[in-house]
Amino acid sequence: MTDRPCLSVLEVQGLQDQGLDDSQTKHLEDCPRCRGLVHSLAPAPPYEAADRSECLSVSPRESGAIPAQLRTGDLVRAVLDQDSAVVVIVIGSRSEAPDTYLVAPVSGDVVNAAEGDVLLDQESLGYSAVASVWNCGDVEAGQLQTHVGRVGRGERQKLLAAFQSLTSDQPFLEEMIAPILSRTDPRAQWRDDQNLRLRPLFQLVRQQLDEPSTPPLTAGTVLTGLFEAEWDRNEVLEQTQVEADRLQAFLEDKLDLRGRSDVVDLAQILGTMEQTYEDFADPIRASLSLVPLSALSDPHEQQRLAASSFADDLTPAERTKALMQGRQPRQATARDRARAIDAYLVDVRNALDEL
């Protein structure tokens, strides 16, 4: 390793016009971090998907029946649709959903590997492959056709580490693989294509887990029923001085879970219509549960994190971490949404008490 400090993003971008001096050339030869940064910021080559047959090929060894209980690292062929299948790797199983497995799709497109991917040894499948842990999901045992094999202990450990990193601030990144720092990176387009193509694989279990047989009544549904039964909309708007657009948002279950800017207006409407907190707590919770996790993310967080990568006093390791954080701010989780819902309901109760 050379004594020269690591290159900043601005320096790497300038290399495309100015070229490398001797010290920079030597540093790039010895520094995987800077080589990866140069690669990720280079002009994107034309996107070309790998041959589909390669992505779906199986081990040259004879495929076998699915074991009674699959384990972490098992490779199996899963039904994608009526005409095709895909190799997946088992991450684990769900105790609350018998015969359901958490899996990640496996592809031969190793050139598109980035953060959240685990490289698989060629001996596992008979060809170089990558497990897309970032695109994992649940499948039923009935969707699995044949057992292909099982990866080694080291790959199983990396598989679990990559999955655990999905809820952390630091994405899993294989050594010598550059992160995706821009949407112009062809690997970003490849990920979009893979996500769309493999959506049917996880659709069955997703519907069973997320869609109850009897949908709960939402605030919008209950309000609509009250207006149809006994209340005049214009009269309520006149008494509360709430904007018509805001009321329409309530009827469509579009509540401001992140900012809670609509709580007072909602309380005004409920109070005017002689509704109590106990009447509407569950419907409001049902409406807020419809808010996507992406709506809880801070839109300015990415700019702040990205700007931190230009600080002069950062070490190379700190600058690399700042770059990756700037590219991918922490995503909101289901626990974040549950806490936000509780806070929203507390504000509604307080606003009703103050009427």
Per-residue pLDDT, 54: 36
Give the tokens for residue 154: 């080291």
The average pLDDT across 146-158 equals 90
* 186-197 and 199-210 helices, crossing angle to 10°: 60
Domains and their CATH numbers in the chain:
9-41 (no CATH), 52-209 (2.30.30.110), 219-293+334-353 (no CATH), 298-327 (no CATH)
The average pLDDT across 274-299 equals 84
38 compared with 222, residue with greater pLDDT: 222
- Sorting pLDDT into bands at 50, 70 and 90, what band is 3? low
Our measurement of the distance from residue 101's CA atom to the centroid of its chain's CA atoms, rounded to an integer in Å, reads 18
Res 63 pLDDT > 70: no
Report the alpha-carbon angle 282-286-292, nearest 5: 150
The average pLDDT across 209-221 equals 69
- Sorting pLDDT into bands at 50, 70 and 90, what band is 56? very low
Res 237 pLDDT > 90: yes
Res 306 pLDDT > 50: no
37 compared with 189, residue with greater pLDDT: 189
Per-residue pLDDT, 35: 61
DSSP tag of 119: E
Of the chain, the percentage scoring pLDDT greater than 70 comes to 69
Res 47 pLDDT > 50: no
Is the distance from CB of 282 to CB of 320 less than 8 angstroms?
no
**pLDDT digits 0-9 by tens, 184-199:** 889 988 998 888 888 8
CB atoms within 10 A of CB 293: 12
With 0.75 as the threshold, say if the pTM is over it: no
147 compared with 127, residue with greater pLDDT: 147
Res 78 pLDDT > 80: yes
Residue 168 identity:
S
Per-residue pLDDT, 245: 94
Look over the chain and give the mean of its residue pLDDT values, rounded to a whole number: 77
Alpha helices in 150-251 (DSSP H): 153-164, 186-197, 199-210, 219-229, 233-240, 244-251
Write the CA distances from 231 to 147, 227, 228, integer angstroms. Answer: 61, 5, 7
Res 309 pLDDT > 50: no
- Sorting pLDDT into bands at 50, 70 and 90, what band is 206? confident
Residue 51 identity:
D
The average pLDDT across 265-277 equals 94
The average pLDDT across 157-175 equals 82
